[in-house]
Each structure stands twice: as C-alpha cells, then as structure tokens.
Structure 1
Amino acid sequence: MRAYGRRKVLALAAGVLAAATACTGNAPAEPSKAAATSSASASPSPSTPATAVTQAEAAEEFSKFTATDDTLRAPSEFQGRLDLELKDVVTGGQLPLTAAAFLSHDFAPPRYRWGTPRLFVPRFAPTEQAPWFSALVTRDGSPTLLTFAKSADRWRLSSAAELLSGQQVPEIQLDADGYATALAPDDKSVTISPQFMGPVHASVAETGTAGPTAGLLAPGPYTTEVAAQIAHLRDVLKNSEEQGGYSYDSIFSADNFSVYSLRTKDGGALIQYSLSRTSTTTAVTKAAEDEGIPVPEPARWALDKQRVRKSLRLIETHQYATVVPPLKAPAAATVIAHDGALTRTSGQ
C-alpha cells in the first residue's frame, strides 16, 4: 500500500461514496413478458371480497403521483415545492432521498419519463390501516419497482429501486381476480422472514463472508463486495505506515423503515426495504489531522468544504428489492433492484 500516497488513499476513502451509490447498470429497456401485462385490466367477479384498495384505485393513485411529482420537480419560482413533496408525495426512505435530490440539484431535481405500470395490489381487509401496493414501471427507460403506502388518508411513494442488469421481477402469486398476497412480517415459510430482511442485509454488507449471516444473501456489489471494500479501507487508513493515522468504519442500519413483501408464485417472497449507511473517517494522529480529510465532490452540496480536519461523516439512504426463496427450497436470497444516494454530510 506504500505506492498509494496519503492523498490518494484519502481520496479512495472519500470515494467509497461513489462506489456504494453507483448506478445499477444498464437495466433491460422493458419489463419481462411476465411483468408486461397490467394487472389493472383484471375484471373482479361479482363475488370478489371487499379490499382496502382496489386495482383501479391503485392505478389512479399512480397517475396522480406521476403528475404531482413531475409538477413539483419542474423548475419554478415557487419555493415550497420541496416542502409539499415531503409532506404529501413521499414517505419512508423516499423522504431523505427526495430532499437530497432537490438540495443537491439547486431545487431542480431530475424529472422522470414514466411508462405504463404493472400493478401488484395485495388484497387487504377493508379495515387495514396501512395498505400499500407496488408497481413495476419503466422510469426513464429502466424497469423500476415502486411501492406506495397509505396513511392519514393519503397515498405516498415509499420505495423506488431500479432492476439490476440481467435481473427480472419474479412471477407474483395472484388470485383469480388478479390480487397479490402480502406476507406477514414474521412469515416463516421463506428463508428470511420479511422483518429480518433489513438486519440480515445490513450484517452481510458489514461482515461479508465472515459474519453469522454469510450465505444468506448471494454475493454481489451490494452485499459481500461492500463488506470487502469496508474492510480494505479500514485496514489501509489505520495500519499503513505511510497513510495511517485514521480510523474508518461504515455501518448499515434498518432504522424504522417499512418493509413490503409479496408472495411469489414459487412460494418465496419479493421483499422491498430500505437501509441507511453511515461512513465515518476520523483523524486519530496529529499528522493525520494536519493533512485533513477530503470531502468528496458529491457531498459538497451538503457540506460546503473541500476538506475537514478531524472527522467526516457521510450518511446514505439505500432502497432494495430482494428475492427470497421458499423454505422448502432453501438458497441464497438475491438482490434484484437498488437505488440510493448520499442524503446527509457532517464534518469538523
């Protein structure tokens, strides 16, 4: 590691942000054939049980969202656009991601081109207090899995994750009327219960193949490769004779983000969830403090400095969709979709 030089290694540590939040690659231009037919076209039979949200209502809410979101993202003199987005349009992990999109683009965040969605609407009891539904739709040409949740009589976007290159949404189990089935948080018919999906992913991303959750998630850029990157940077910044003097760590947390799970046709589950990631670099020697810690370019919208002396903290929000096999056919779960970004920065 002597060949790196102190500044290059520090830049590498700062550059972990870019590696962690990099684009998901060239996703297929359109959803698979199984995901291309709109479930909203199903005609309920006269005996269809009542449900908290119908497919027609879900389709209407999706249309309302795209129209409202596009209007608020369009550049204008109206200064309350972000406040309205955060109050009425998004929730969950989309709250910090939307705020970051506005603030990092000088209140002119990216606007999207939306395709026609295929809806996955669970059949909830009419008394359900927190119904939700998912939609597979092209966003700027990339298949993206969205989830909308209802609270206080308003629907809001909670999750959005683009399909990774080569991945497809598995066939979702539908009843005779085209409604999906939501899994309970503690469902034990799958290899990872929905309530444990976030903590398991967090553990694998931190410890990789060495931790107690090794093997539960398939290796890849959002699981074992992240853990290897964290271990490498921690070792270099702490122990290198020429580049040492810093401590580094990166922690994933499920926080209180909601988890959404749909039964797949093979008895498994498609689970959507969010994680936060907090990466901290700290100067622990006088020489390191004098050298300082570079603030990566993507973080300077949140911290208007090029370098800090003592400590740099980067907070990211990530959203995933993972396919979990049924317990009757155990195998490693696979992350099939992801989106994420830096959402907060602090330093001194």
Structure 2
Amino acid sequence: MTVTLTATACSSSATIGSADDHAKAKATRTSSPTPAAVPALTKKEALAQIAHYSKINNRANADNNHTLLDTIEDGPLYAMSVADYKQDAGLPKADREKYKPWSYDLASMSVYIPRFTAGQQRWFAAVTHSGKNDKYARVLIMTEQAGAKQWEMVAAVDLDDKEQVPKIALDADGYATALDATSTKNVAAPVDVLRGAVGDNFSTGGDTTGRKVFTSSKASARQIKAHDSTVHKFGSRGTTVFSAATPEFTNSYALKTADGSALVVFAHTHTQRDAVAYSGLQIVPQKKDRAWLGTTNSPSFTYTFTCSDVATVPTAPGKATLIGYTCRRTDAHGMTDSS
C-alpha cells in the first residue's frame, strides 16, 4: 500500500509539471513584447531645445547668473561655464570683456537623435557650423534630466577641422543609433582607454599610450604641444608636471557612423603643477589666476582642468582619431592653502 501511494504521488507530481504546462509557461514568457525603442524627441523639438538653451544662456551669461545657468547646463559644460564666471569675477572691471549675445544657426544645423527604451537616459547630438563658409564646426550634446524632465547642454566641443566630422548612420526614418562606448563590443578603444590616452598626451606628450591609441591629428598635436611647451617654461628655475586625474564626469555619448565606426564624446580631467626648483623662489599668480589664487605668491600652484573631447573610433582593431577638445581651468590652489 505504501509503495502504491508513493508511486501515485510521484505520478501526480509528474502530471503537475507536465510538458504541456512547460510549453504554456514558455509561451507566456515569450509572448511579452520587447519594449520598443523610440526617438528621444523629434527634430523640431530638438531644435527648439537648442534655441531655448541659447536664449537662456545669453541671459545667464550677461549677469554671470549661476542659478539660471544651472537650468540649461549640466556636466562638464556647466563646470567650465561656472569657472569662466569665476575667472571673470576675479578680474578688475576694466579688464572684463563686454558680453556679446549669440545664437546658433538652426537652419544649417545637423541634428542626430537616437532611439531609447524606457528607463534609458535620453540624449541627442548636433553639429553646428559658423564663420565664413561654415569654416568652424562644433559638436553639441544635450541630455534630458530625468527628475526635472528638462533638457540641458552637457558638451559643446569645437572641432579642429570641419572635414573631420564623420557621416552619421541614420535609419529609414532619419534617426541615429546610440552605442555604448564603454564596451569593446562596440568600439576598438573603449572610453576609458580614450580618456587615458588623452591624459597621456598631456602628461607625457603621448609617449606612453597617447600615440598608440590615437592617430596623428591637429587635436592630438595641440595636446602634445601643451605638454612640450609648458614643462620647460620655467627653465632651470622651476618645473611643470601634468597628471591625469580621476574624471569628475564619466558619462560618454556615442553614435554609429556610416562607415561602421563611432563618434564618441567624453570628458576628462587633468592637473598641472607648477613648482620652483629651489628655496628662495616664489611663483607670482597671473591676472587670470587670481580668482582662485588671490595675489599671494607660492613655491607651487596646482591647477585642475575639466575638458570635453570628441573622437572617431573604429569598431575593428585600429587607432582612434581625436578631432577636437575644449578645456577650462576649474580649480587652482597653492601650497599655502592646500597640503
């Protein structure tokens, strides 16, 4: 009897977990549709956001209004703008340049809008031109702040050569494809590698990784020149040392290009330490340093720079190309006020 009951119980258990039930469960699981990726916004809406940014930016810049600026900027761009405000406030009034209102030419602007699924941060890119015959190009990145539901500019990077702007891949409806630039599945050099190479351009002149990661370009050459020309500025009386620093802003933005590569926008932070070679010497703060350093001389000063960078990066093994970067000094201190 016990054997019969045990056998019956096993048989009953097998019936409850039958193949038909598994099939039904599988069908139920696979029947749920994958969340559709939808455009971050329309082109008309994107242009309206850029126009709104320009309008409010002019109002904020006219009075160095941090609070107003904070409603339209974020990330590295906001840090750089606030640094500009601080530097301007540290100058004698006679040396402050009169602010000139500006605006982007929306008619000639190219806007690149990716699709996103629910929960992903929405952002879009734009390329604007200015100057005679559209000589100059600038890459813009705007992101939606999830909590406030407002769009803010986080990067505005001038390129060295407008011809270096790659053709962005667009789908049948005219929308771009966002890529994860932190993964080697999408780019040959992930953003941390790019950031390290840029830091190396400044800290060693590209001797360690800079020239290995990047091809020769005007932007890379400018970073290397900043190192080469600055480290010897004091001659035998002092030293200048550049160092890569932990980035304050780690977000990156990447779009698939028509040739299968990626256009990547990211930020980096580096420092510059000026020091005298021997006791008895002091470094005198320059006029534009005084917002941070005052007028007190010091045997050493350390400056922090926040920068945004733009690179084209292949998906297959190969070198990336740095096509532009923008930096601002965002902090400085001397030996007297910091250990």
The interval holding the TM-score normalised by the smaller chain is 0.7 to 0.9
Task: Give the structure 2 partner of residue 63 of structure 1.
Answer: 51
User: Hey, what's the Cα distance between the residues in 2 that align with 1:102 and 1:235?
Assistant: 30
TM-score (norm 1): 0.72
Query: Residues 94 and 188 from structure 1, CA distance in 2 versus in 1: closer, same or farther, beyond 3 angstroms?
Result: same
Aligned partner of 1:145 among 126, 139, 145: 139
Letter in 2 for 1:250: F
CA contact (8 A) 1:113 1:139 kept: no
Deviations 1:129-169 (A, max 9, x none): 41110111135763211100112212111001112135431
Identity across the alignment (%): 20
Task: Give the structure 2 partner of residue 175 of structure 1.
Answer: 171
CA contact (8 A) 2:157 2:308 kept: yes
Task: Give the structure 2 partner of residue 325 of structure 1.
Answer: 314
Query: Residues 340 and 213 from structure 1, CA distance in 2 versus in 1: closer, same or farther, beyond 3 angstroms?
Result: closer
User: Aligned ranges for residues 1-348 of structure 1 at < 5 Å?
Assistant: 50-75=38-63, 81-86=65-70, 88-106=71-89, 111-116=101-106, 117-125=109-117, 127-138=118-129, 142-151=136-145, 152=147, 153-165=149-161, 167-184=163-180, 185-220=182-217, 222-223=219-220, 226-227=223-224, 230=227, 234=231, 243-244=236-237, 246-253=238-245, 254-283=247-276, 285-286=278-279, 290-305=280-295, 308-327=297-316, 330-347=317-334, 348=336
User: Hey, what's the Cα distance between the residues in 1 that align with 2:46 and 2:229?
Assistant: 46
Letter in 1 for 2:312: V
**SS of the counterpart of 1:119?**
strand
Query: Residues 67 and 217 from structure 1, CA distance in 2 versus in 1: closer, same or farther, beyond 3 angstroms?
Result: same
Question: Runs in 1 of length 4+ with deviation above 4 angstroms?
Answer: 107-110, 231-237
User: Hey, what's the Cα distance between the residues in 2 that align with 1:340 and 1:194?
Assistant: 18
Number of residue equivalences:
284
Deviations 1:78-111 (A, max 9, x none): x8x222212x111110122110222233496554
Deviation at 1:196, TM superposition (A): 3.3
Letter in 2 for 1:203: D
Letter in 2 for 1:57: E
CA contact (8 A) 1:173 1:264 kept: yes
CA contact (8 A) 1:123 1:181 kept: yes
**SS of the counterpart of 1:275?**
strand
Q: Which runs of 5+ in 1 are unaligned?
A: 1-47
Letter in 1 for 2:333: S
Query: Residues 232 and 163 from structure 1, CA distance in 2 versus in 1: closer, same or farther, beyond 3 angstroms?
Result: closer
**SS of the counterpart of 1:206?**
helix
CA contact (8 A) 1:102 1:109 kept: no
Q: Which structure shows the bigger proportion of residues in helix conformation? A: 2
CA contact (8 A) 2:169 2:177 kept: yes
**SS of the counterpart of 1:294?**
coil
Letter in 1 for 2:110: R
Deviations 1:235-254 (A, max 9, x none): 786xx6xx24x443111333
Higher RCO (C-alpha 8 Å, min separation 6): 1
Cα RMSD for the two superposed structures: 2.8
Query: Residues 187 and 63 from structure 1, CA distance in 2 versus in 1: closer, same or farther, beyond 3 angstroms?
Result: farther
